[in-house]
Amino acid sequence: MRCHVEVEVNNKKEEFEIGYVAKQASGSVMMKIGGTVMIAAVARDDKPVEGDFTPLTVQYIEKSYAVGKIPGGYIKRETKPGDFETLTSRVVDRSLRPLFPKGYAYPTQITILVVSSDGETDLQTMALNAASVALYLSDIPVNKLVYGARVGKIDGEVVLNPKTSQMENSSLDLYVSGSKDELLMIEMRAIPTLKTDIAPVAAIDPMVDPTLAEEMITEQLSNELSNDETMEVIEVASKAIKEATEAYEKAFIELKKEDAVLTLKDEKIDESIYAYIEEFYKDEVYNALSNMAKSERAGELEKIVENIMSDEVAQKEEWDREVVSKVLSAFKREVVRKMIVNDHKRADGRDLKEVRPISIETNILPRVHGSCLFTRGQTQALVTVTIGSDQDAQMFDLLTSDGPNYDKFMVNYNFPGFSVGEPSPMRAPGRRELGHGNLAKRALAPLNDMSYPQVIRVVSEILESNGSSSMATVCGGSLALRAAGIPTKKLVAGIAMGLIFEDDKYAILTDIMGLEDHDGDMDFKVAGTKDGITALQMDIKLGGIESHILKEALEQAKEGRDHILSIMEEADKKIVVNEELLPTTEIFGVHPSKIVDIIGKAGSTIREIIEKFNVSIDLDREKGKVKVGGADKAKVKAACDHIKEITSRSGGGRDHRRERKTIEFKKGEEFHGKVKKIVEFGAFVELKDGVDGLLHISKVAKDKHTKMQDVLHEGDMIDVVVLSQKGHKVELDLKK
């Protein structure tokens, strides 16, 4: 029976159609927010799998018709999922997987289709919420609802569930999922922003684009968050999650299907086998743990299983090998956890707060622009940096954008099987690789200079792994950027934290290894500088986590991060940049009318320059910007000189700022002038003799949210008065 449900959640109306679409699925829903519509459907198999795991698959798929597009490329239909779709599928999976009951082994697929998009609704949070409702309404025994919330920080104010357009001006991106008081997943990143100085920038040379002057007074903010700030924004999301999940439960509890009769795998441990292992194989388990501390593989346990199965008792009792292996794994887990919580000992002998030994070597690859071999314990990452031109940027499509987008900073993470001793073939990157690369990118991006003119590709090859290879990628990536001569503002380090609860006790672990990740209750990765956090990712395997424990984990993570940064700083001092290998880029301005001279008839002139000097050239017709790049600095300079000579033949390329005589203006002098150009920070107004003055936005705007375009337009005639003059720069105010 069709049912329409409206839920008011965090000052936002959400509409759900139940029993309307995909009625043969175990559970389904059509969800609508504004002009965005998603269909979420849950389907399960009737037969369980043999393995001891939850066989869940999540597929988030964006349909091009949702925004009135036809897919580009040769094949005019949706094919391979994009990175955003893959990462969104991963977010939904990580949030919903903990809800399934222990022993659930039925192959289950959750599919989310975006069938309409208004461009303003957050697709990731909506995807999780639609999937959660569909799962809750299904006949699968899941009795919790999950809600995803996003928090931004816009103009210094914390904003819950901002629109997509608002996030373009946010200095924070926090995504949290949970159920009532329980947090399940956190992803956070700081977003670099530009702060424009309010100092006057007037009398701009007509031969130079005004935006170049804007860059001169612009400061880039990396926007790292302190631990206290992080806790505050997480608390905002937590309150929203509690409100939403309670509203969801009230709205949907009467519509939930009866739980299907399913056979859950027995989670009980054979007590007699457990006692036998504890009595006769305890020492072997402890010895195995010391070896397992050196690798993510669990081969040591298989050797013990072989010994047990060859025992006379095992043969007489006809113990099942799978049962013995399961009991041994449970015994090992118990030993690891109690050793940490009760004895404050770890399998590799470290203290709970101790970071494994670190070694760093930079520029070990002679023909690579920048490289770093970062080794921490048994985790090793070879991170390289390649510098390219605009043509090397990664093109990608987003459902919410009109045209193609270009990524000038790429981070690729590779995890070959040999890194954990497995003879597996090399394959295309999967969800794990994309997720780890995305986390490293979010950690490093805030400290990269947004005005850096070249394309950067960072590649991390994990050569050895025993815990937190993504954080090794962050550390190695930060130094590899420096090794390539890229002027990053600060060094960034990452560290993986763990948490173990036993009864009323708990222990927080610094720099966890694979064994502790597998047997722990929380995986908590924190990356940042000495001044704050740039990226954070947390997955909680148990229920909720109290705020004071989360705060303690953040403080302990900062101690570990500072320790790693001190080692990285020493390595940074020893970097010798491969200057002769690095490509270079020169940017200069010409009068926009001279761009046609650079291009030449049918592009002949620019082609000749490119071939003669072996360079790449990018032209901005509107702003008059010329960007010349190449591997040979001398040829780049020669190409620039050649272009300047071409544009100066009719006087357009001369440095008019040197030739122009300064015109004096008196304070209080009044003019009736034309608005020549509108920019973000103000308007340039024509005065006399070709000189313009700046009317800053603060002189006309009523509040900080007002845009200059809302007040004035190019071509308007206005009355202004001179406030001050510094050289050619004249600051103006409106005539009262």
Q: Calculate the dihedral angle through the C-alpha atoms of 99, 104, 105, 110, rounding to the nearest 10 degrees.
A: -30
Q: Which residues of 142-153 are buried (b: 16+ CB within 10 A; e: fewer)?
A: bebbbbbbbbbb
Is the same domain home to 608 and 549? no
Q: What's 593's domain CATH number? A: 3.30.1370.10
Contact 399, 114 (CB under 8 A): yes
Q: Does a structural domain hold residue 94?
A: yes
Q: What is d(CA 289, CA 349) in angstroms, rounded to the nearest whole number?
A: 11
Contact 600, 619 (CB under 8 A): no
Lowest mean pLDDT among 156-160, 240-244, 441-445, 596-600: 596-600
Q: What is d(CA 549, CA 106) in angstroms, rounded to the nearest whole number?
A: 35
Is the same domain home to 632 and 540? no
> Tens of pLDDT along 611-638?
989 999 988 887 888 999 888 888 898 9
Q: What is d(CA 689, CA 686) in angstroms, rounded to the nearest whole number?
A: 9
Q: Are strands 394-396 and 405-407 parallel, antiparallel or unpaired?
A: antiparallel
Q: Which residue, among 33, 116, 124, has the nearest Cα to 67 in the 3D structure?
A: 116
Which residues, in sequence order, are bridge partners of residue 371? 384
Q: Return phi, psi of residue 423, to 5°.
A: -85, 50
Q: What is d(CA 311, CA 722) in angstroms, rounded to the nearest whole number?
A: 97
Over residues 140-169, mean pLDDT? 94
Is the same domain home to 677 and 618? no
Contacts of 698 (CB under 8 A, 6+ apart): 198
Q: What is d(CA 491, CA 447) in angstroms, rounded to the nearest whole number?
A: 8
Is the same domain home to 249 and 321? no
Average predicted confidence (pLDDT) for the chain:
88
Neighbour tally for 403: CB within 10 Å: 8
pLDDT for 130 beyond 70: yes
Please, how many CA atoms are within 13 Å of residue 7, restricted to the half-sphere of its CB? 24
* Residue 655, pLDDT score: 43
Q: Does a structural domain hold residue 34?
A: yes
Which residues, in sequence order, are bridge partners of residue 679? 682
Contact 629, 636 (CB under 8 A): yes
The sheet carrying 370-376 orders its strands as 358-362, 370-376, 379-388, 455-464, 409-414
Over residues 152-172, mean pLDDT? 94
Q: What is d(CA 686, CA 672) in angstroms, rounded to the nearest whole number?
A: 9
Is the same domain home to 536 and 637? no
pLDDT band per the 50, 70, 90 thresholds, residue 358: very high
Q: Does a structural domain hold residue 213?
A: no
* Residue 203, pLDDT score: 39
DSSP state of 225: B
Q: Which residues of 459-484 are buried (b: 16+ CB within 10 A; e: fewer)?
A: bbbbbbbbbbbbbbbbbbbbbbbbbb
Is the same domain home to 441 and 384? yes
pLDDT band per the 50, 70, 90 thresholds, residue 661: low
The sheet carrying 27-33 orders its strands as 3-9, 12-18, 27-33, 36-44, 108-116, 56-62
Q: What is d(CA 30, CA 45) in angstroms, rounded to the nearest whole number?
A: 22
- CA distances for 486 relative to 307, 427, 635, angstroms: 55, 31, 21
Please spell the DSSP secondary structure of 273-328, one letter per residue: HHHHHHHHSHHHHHHHHHHHTT-S--HHHHHHHHHHHTSHHHHHHT--HHHHHHHH
Is the same domain home to 682 and 652? no
Which residues, in sequence order, are bridge partners of residue 375? 359, 380
Residue with tokens 């936002």: 12
Is the same domain home to 73 and 103? yes
Contact 609, 369 (CB under 8 A): no
Structural domain including 78 reads: 3-154+170-181+220-255
pLDDT band per the 50, 70, 90 thresholds, residue 594: confident
Is the same domain home to 122 and 27? yes
Which residues, in sequence order, are bridge partners of residue 664? none
DSSP state of 11: T
Please spell the DSSP secondary structure of 341-360, one letter per residue: HTT---TTS--TTPPPPEEE
Q: Does a structural domain hold residue 131?
A: yes
> Tens of pLDDT along 464-511?
999 889 999 999 999 999 999 998 999 999 999 999 988 888 999 999
Angular region, 418: left φ>0, alpha ψ -120 to 50, beta rest: alpha
Q: Does a structural domain hold residue 347?
A: no
Which of 539, 556, 579 terminates a domain? The answer is 579
* Residue 218, pLDDT score: 59
pLDDT band per the 50, 70, 90 thresholds, residue 266: confident
pLDDT for 38 beyond 50: yes
- Which of 174-178, 665-669, 681-685 is predicted most confidently? 174-178
Q: Does a structural domain hold residue 387?
A: yes
Position with higher pLDDT, 390 vs 247:
247
Which of 605, 638, 659 terminates a domain? The answer is 659
Over residues 340-367, mean pLDDT? 93
pLDDT band per the 50, 70, 90 thresholds, residue 520: confident
Q: What is d(CA 97, CA 86) in angstroms, rounded to the nearest whole number?
A: 16
Is the same domain home to 535 and 588? no
pLDDT band per the 50, 70, 90 thresholds, residue 592: confident
* Residue 659, pLDDT score: 43
Is the same domain home to 327 and 422? no
Q: Are strands 193-196 and 584-589 parallel, antiparallel or unpaired?
A: unpaired
Rg (CA), the chain: 30
> Tens of pLDDT along 4-25?
999 999 888 999 999 999 999 9
Please spell the DSSP secondary structure of 487-554, one letter per residue: --SS--EEEEEEEEEETTEEEEEES--HHHHHHSSEEEEEEEETTEEEEEEEEESSS---HHHHHHHH
- Beta-strand ranges (E) seen in 346-503 are 358-362, 370-376, 379-388, 394-396, 405-407, 409-414, 455-464, 493-502
Which of 531, 557, 579 terminates a domain? The answer is 579
Contact 532, 225 (CB under 8 A): yes
Q: What's 455's domain CATH number? A: 3.30.230.70
Contacts of 239 (CB under 8 A, 6+ apart): none
> Tens of pLDDT along 285-332?
888 887 777 665 657 788 899 999 999 998 988 898 888 998 999 999
* Residue 600, pLDDT score: 87
DSSP state of 179: E
Q: What's 675's domain CATH number? A: 2.40.50.140
Q: Which residue, among 453, 499, 443, has the nearest Cα to 473 in the 3D structure?
A: 443
Q: What is d(CA 476, CA 375) in angstroms, rounded to the nearest whole number?
A: 9
The total of structural domains in the chain comes to: 5
pLDDT band per the 50, 70, 90 thresholds, residue 200: very low
Contacts of 113 (CB under 8 A, 6+ apart): 38, 39, 40, 61, 63
Q: Does a structural domain hold residue 346?
A: no
Is the same domain home to 300 and 392? no
Q: Does a structural domain hold residue 692?
A: yes
pLDDT for 662 beyond 70: no
Which residues, in sequence order, are bridge partners of residue 535? 189, 527
112's tokens: 């989310």
- CA distances for 270 relative to 147, 320, 329, angstroms: 38, 11, 12
Residue with tokens 């449900």: 5
pLDDT for 217 beyond 60: no
Q: What is d(CA 350, CA 512) in angstroms, rounded to the nearest whole number?
A: 10
> Tens of pLDDT along 40-54?
999 999 999 987 789
pLDDT band per the 50, 70, 90 thresholds, residue 206: very low
